[in-house]
Amino acid sequence: MLLIGLSLGLGAGFVMHRSNYCVAGMFRDLFLFRSLLKLRTLWLLVVISMVLFEAAAQLALLPSYPFPLIGSASLANLIGGFFFGVGMVLAGGCVAGTLYKMGAGSTLSAVAFVGLIAGSALYAEFHPWWVSVVAATTVFQGKVTVAEILGITPLPLVIAVTLVSSYYFRRWHRQGGWTRASLTPGSLQPWKAALLLCLTGLTSYLLIGMPLGITTGFAKIAGYLESVICSTHLLGLAYFKTLPLDYRLPMSGRRLLGGPGPQLDAIALIQLPVIIGIVLGGTLSAGLLKEFRLQVKLPWRQYLSAAAGGVVMGLASRMASGCNIWHLLGGLPILAAQSVLFLAGLLPGAWIGSLLVSRVVIR
């Protein structure tokens, strides 16, 4: 399982670096430059993943549907999505973008990464209260996907979304709306990256039992650090005692438990290798392109923005029960209600983040 996670992360980090594929950049380009190119590829990624996941489900290849760690929607997903949108734009990268850019030598992304860990630790301080907010605002208790809420199978929804999307995909193809004009040698078109990431997500679902996820891994790193720095305080934090992951590994049927606490468990075996792999994928890609370089002399406002964005993003990923990778590349393709609300919050959050960047950070 360690090798699988490392390989998936390595492949994803390499592909994302080669294509500069980052959700933060997609929404930033929309609000600052009115560019839709990268967002179109995100739509493509979601729809193709939706088709692949449903095909695998129809063939009885998926170990579970819906997958572990995703539950009923609540207001927390909307609020968390909003703050995540603000944070990722301020940080200059989403959670995966932060990792592969850090691997390629970005000191701003390294600062944002530290912020992600700090934000994850900060969430633990008010976790019990937030759990009560989630419980009070949960809707359609026991139902995870839009199909379950409507009382139908997912197939009709998948067909409808695919047909509507295909019309626009074909239209953009005729208009040349998929291709980025200026590419440096060795770069990858974003639409090709989207297709490769679809396969990465499906492989993760088939072999590990769920799509890619990394932010509980950030919380676990925070737990490890806190156990060294202030172990007594850690013992009083309920969040680090939770075990939200309880499932059976598809390949062996072995029961696995995991949570954010500083212990070797399923989260450590699944998510930490993916995190390391994405960083190394960015390093490998940058090294082969001879683009690896440390950029240190940057305006202090950019460092402050990266740090603040990382903290907000780490905090929001815990509030929303997942990050953009988990919700947009995993939950949205199965039309999980949590992920739909996350996206609904992400849009205005990214807009606010873009305003802050344009008026405060780079003024």
How does pLDDT run across 319-329, given as a tens digit for each residue? 999 999 999 99
Q: What is the pLDDT of residue 45?
A: 98
Residue with tokens 């683009």: 291
Instruction: With a cut of 70, list the residues of the chain below it in pLDDT.
Output: 182
pLDDT at residue 362 in the model: 83
Both tokens assigned to 90: 């301020």
Give the other-Cβ count within 10 Å of 294's Cβ: 10
pLDDT at 182: 67
- ω into 66 cis (within 30 of 0): yes
Determine the angle formed by the axes of helices 266-288 and 215-229, rounding to 10 degrees: 110
Q: Calculate the average pLDDT of the chain.
A: 95
- As beta bridge partners, residue 363 has none
What is the rounded distance in angstroms from the CA atom of residue 268 to the CA atom of residue 244? Answer: 13
| Chain segment 86-104, per-residue pLDDT in tens | 999 999 999 999 999 999 9
Please state the φ and ψ torsions of residue 246, each to the nearest 5 degrees. Answer: -150, 100
Q: Is 177 helix (H, G, I), strand (E, B) or coil?
A: coil
The C-alpha atoms of residue 100 and residue 291 are separated, in whole angstroms, by 13
Find tokens 């919050």 and name the residue. 345
* Nearest CA-CA partner of 216 in 144, 265, 282: 265
pLDDT at 219: 97
Q: Are 177 and 305 in contact (CB under 8 A)?
A: no
Cα(320)–Cα(119) distance, integer angstroms = 13
Domain ranges, residue 172: 2-361
Q: Which of 12, 55, 23, 44 is nearest to 275 (CA)?
A: 12
Q: How far is the C-alpha of 122 from the C-alpha of 68, rounded, in Å?
A: 25
Longest CA–CA separation in the chain, Å: 62
What span, in angstroms and rounded, lies between the C-alpha atoms of 48 and 165?
A: 10
pTM over 0.75: yes
DSSP states of 19-62: HT--HHHHHHHHHHH---HHHHHHHHHHHHHHHHHHHHHHTT--
Between CA 226 and CA 354 the distance in angstroms is 33
**Which residues are CB-contacts of 224 (< 8 A; sequence separation ≥ 6)?**
262
Pairing of strands 255-258, 245-248: antiparallel
Domain count, the chain: 1
